[in-house]
Amino acid sequence: MTIENNTVLTRLRTALPDAITGSAEFRGDLSVFVRPARIVDVARFLRDDSALRYNFLENLCGVDYPGRQLRFEVVYHLLSFTNRHRICLKVGVAEHDPSVPSLTGLWPGANYHERETFDMFGIVFIGHPCLDRILMPDDWEGYPLRKDVPLGAEEVAFTFNQERIYAHKPFARE
Amino acid sequence: MTVAPSPARALTIPAPSQITRPALAGARETMVLNMGPHHPSTHGVLRLVVELDGETVVDVAPDIGFLHTGIEKTMESKTYQKAVVLTDRTDYLAPLSNNLSYVLAVEKLLGCDVPERATIARVLLVELQRISSHLVWLGTHALDLAAMSVFLYGFREREQILDIFELVSGARMMTSYFRVGGLAYDLPAEFEDAVAAFLQVMPGRIDEYEQLLTDNPLWIERTQGIGAIDGEAAIAFGLTGPGLRAAGVAWDLRKSMPYCGYEHYSFAIPTATHGDIYDRYLVRMAEMRESVSICRQALQRLKDHGPGPYMTLDRKIAPPPKSEITHSMEALIHHFKLWTEGFRPPRGDALAAVESPRGELATYIVSDGSPKPYRVHFRAPSFANLQALPYMARGHLVADLVALIASMDPILGEVDR
C-alpha cells in the first residue's frame, strides 16, 4: 500500500523538473524544495497524479532563519490517503518580498493555515481570499514568531499604570 | 466594499471582516449577529460573526485568537524536556494526546527507542484520555440541547479516569506524564486494578448514555440532517477525526499510519454515511466502545509483559535512576548535563502525527542541533476542523448553530495555542 520516497521523487522530478531545487531525507521523511512561483503547480500535480494522490493538506507553517539568503521557509505537509504517505514541501522566501502563491484554490482548508503563517511571520499568500490576522489583534504591530521579536510578556493594565500602557497599546482600552 | 453572499454550499471560509465590512457599509439586507466570545455554547472563547436572514444562517465567520498564549514561541526558549509541560495546555481536555504527539516528534528527531512497557502504557492512557474527552463532549453537547442528565453521568465516569491519571502522574489534567524516551515514572502498583475496575463498569455506562439519547425523539429532531458534510468537502477543508469518519471516510491514523504499535491491537474504525450531527454522535459513541476494547488489550499486554524499564536506557537522553547517581560518577555527570543543558538532537526536522480525540494532531519540530527546539508547530485538529463550520452551518437556524459547534467539539486552547 505504501509508496517509496524515491518513486515519488522520480515521478515529481520527471513531471516538473524545473520546479524542484532539491530534496532531502531525514528519518525516512521526504522533503522537497520547491521554487516559490511553482508551488501551486507542484501541489496540483501531487494532488491529481493518479499514482501519487496527495489529497490532503495536512499542515502548513512558516519557519524563520535570519541570516539566510531566503530568510523564511514555508513548510507544507501533504498526505496521501491512498498511499498512506506523507511528503513535505519547502519553499524559501526572501525577506524583501515575503510572498508565496496561495494554495486556497486547491484546498479551501489552506485558508486558516495561511492566515496564521501571515499573522506570525508576515508572509503574504498571493491569491488568498482574505488575508487578515487570525490569532493576534488586528492592530498588533509586527510578526511575533519571527526570531527578532523577543519573548516578552503582555503588561496587565491596572488603575495605577493604565495610562502608560494605553499610550502605546490603544487596543487594550476596550 | 461589497462581497457577494456565499452560496449555501460554497467551499468558502469567510474572515470576520468579510461579513462585518459590507454590513457596516449597509450593502446587504441581512442582519449581523455577534455570538460569543463569552457564551456557554461556544465551549471556551469562540466568537462567531453570524449573518442572518430572519432566523436562517446565511454565513458564519469564526473569530479566534482570544486564547492565544504564544505556546509555540515560548517552546523555542525551553529545552526539549521542559517544553513537555506546555503541550498539556494546548488541548486541555486531552493533555496526554498532546504529550504523545510532541514526544514522538522529539524521539523521531533523536532516533530514540522507547521500552515496550512505556509504549503499552502510552496506548492505554491515550485511549482512556479519548474516552474522558469524548465524555466531556457528550455531556456538554447534550447540555447545549437541554439534556442535563447526560452531563452529570458523563462526568461521573470522567472522574474515574481522572483519578487514574492522578494515580500515575500526580495530576488530574496537566499530566506531563509522557517524557522523551518513555514515561516520567513507572506505573504504580494500584494502576492495573484501577483500570480494570473502570473497564468493568464502562461498557454498561455507555449503554446508559445511549439509552438516554440514541432513540430519543427530541435528540434526533435536533441533530439528524443538520450540519451535514460529505467526505470530499471534509477533506478539502482539512477536517479530521470523528467529523471526517462520520462523513464516510475511514481515515484514522491509528489504523492508516500506525504509531506506538497500534497495528498489534484489534479494533474497528467506526464510520457513518450522512456526516450530520447525529452521525458524529454515533461515531464518537462507537469510538468510546472501541477505546474500551483497546484499553482491555493493552492492560492484558501490560500484565503479560511484566515489570521492566519505563524509560529509555540511553543516558544521553534520559537521566539515570537516583540509586545510580549516589555511587557512579558517570551517572552523576549525565544527570547534571541533562538537567542543566539538555540533550542535543541532530539538525533536521520531524513531524509526528497522532489521532487525538478531535482528529489529527501533528507536531512539527525543527532542530538546529541545540538543546532547545528551533521551531515547534502544532497542527491542531480543532483549528483545521473549525474551517468546516461555515459550510456546515449555512441554511440552518441559529439554534442549530449551537448544536453544530458542540458536535465539532472544538477546544479553543488548541485552536489559539
Closest CA to A25 of A49, A44, A9, A46: A9
pLDDT of residue B1: 36
Structural domain that includes position B111? 71-313+343-379
pLDDT of residue A174: 60
DSSP code of residue B233: H
Q: How many domains does chain B have?
A: 1
Q: Is A31 on the interface with B (CB under 8 A)?
A: yes
pLDDT of residue B356: 92
In chain B, the residue whose alpha carbon lies closest to the alpha carbon of A109 is: B237
Q: Is B238 on the interface with A (CB under 8 A)?
A: yes
Per-residue confidence of chain B (417 residues) as pLDDT tens digits?
A: 344 455 667 888 888 888 888 888 877 788 888 887 877 666 778 889 999 888 889 889 999 988 898 899 999 999 998 899 999 888 888 999 999 999 999 999 998 889 999 999 999 999 999 999 999 999 989 888 878 888 899 899 999 999 999 999 988 888 889 999 889 888 998 999 999 999 999 999 999 999 888 888 888 988 888 888 988 899 999 999 999 999 999 999 999 899 988 999 999 999 999 889 999 999 999 999 999 999 999 999 999 988 888 888 888 888 888 888 888 898 899 889 888 888 899 999 999 999 999 999 999 999 998 999 999 999 999 999 999 999 999 889 988 888 898 898 888 888 988
Distance from CA of A101 to the nearest CA of B (A): 18
Residue B301 lies inside a defined structural domain of this protein: yes
Distance from CA of A104 to the nearest CA of B (A): 9
> In this complex, do B13 and A111 lie within 8 Å of one another by their Cβ atoms?
yes
pLDDT of residue B204: 92
User: Could you tell me how many CB contacts below 8 A there are between chain A and chain B?
Assistant: 111
Is-contact A23 A11, C-beta < 8 A? no
Taking only residues 339 to 398 of chain B, the set having a beta carbon closer than 8 angstroms to any beta carbon of chain A reads 348-351, 353, 360, 362, 364, 366, 374-375, 377, 379, 383-384, 386-387
Residues B149/B150/B152/B156 CA torsion (nearest 10 deg): 140
ipTM given for this complex: 0.88
Residue B387 lies inside a defined structural domain of this protein: no
Is-contact B388 B233, C-beta < 8 A? yes
Q: Is A66 on the interface with B (CB under 8 A)?
A: no
pLDDT of residue B8: 61
Residue B386 lies inside a defined structural domain of this protein: no
Distance (Å, rounded) from C-alpha B336 to C-alpha B40?
48
User: Counting runs of H as helices and runs of E as strands, what totals does chain A give?
Assistant: 4, 7
**Considering only CB atoms, which chain A residues are within 8 Å of B416?**
135
Q: Is A163 on the interface with B (CB under 8 A)?
A: no
Strand partners, B350: B365
Return the CA Rg of chain A: 19
pLDDT of residue B196: 93
Neighbours of B112 (CB within 10 A): 19
> In this complex, do A56 and B238 lie within 8 Å of one another by their Cβ atoms?
yes
pTM here? Answer: 0.90
Taking only residues 97 to 136 of chain A, the set having a beta carbon closer than 8 angstroms to any beta carbon of chain B reads 107-113, 115-116, 120, 129-130, 132-136
Distance from CA of A32 to the nearest CA of B (A): 13
Q: Which helix (H) or strand (E) segment is B359 a member of? A: strand B359-367
Ranges under pLDDT 50 in chain A = none
CATH number at residue B244: 1.10.645.10
**Considering only CB atoms, which chain A residues are within 8 Å of B360?**
58
Probe site for chain B from A2, A26, A47, A53 (most B CB atoms < 10 A): A26
Task: Place domain A5-136 in its CATH homologous superfamily.
Answer: NADH:ubiquinone oxidoreductase Nqo5 subunit (3.30.460.80)
Q: Which helix (H) or strand (E) segment is B128 a member of? A: helix B116-144
Distance from CA of B76 to the nearest CA of A (A): 9
CA distances from B380 to A61, B46, B231, B238, B393 (A): 12, 15, 20, 11, 21
Domain assignments of chain A as residue spans, ordered by start: 5-136
Q: Which of A59, A132, A149 sits opposite B17 (nearest CB)?
A: A132
In chain A, the residue whose alpha carbon lies closest to the alpha carbon of B238 is: A109
Distance (Å, rounded) from C-alpha B60 to C-alpha B318?
48
DSSP-based three-state secondary structure for B318: coil
**Considering only CB atoms, which chain B residues are within 8 Å of A75?**
349, 364, 377
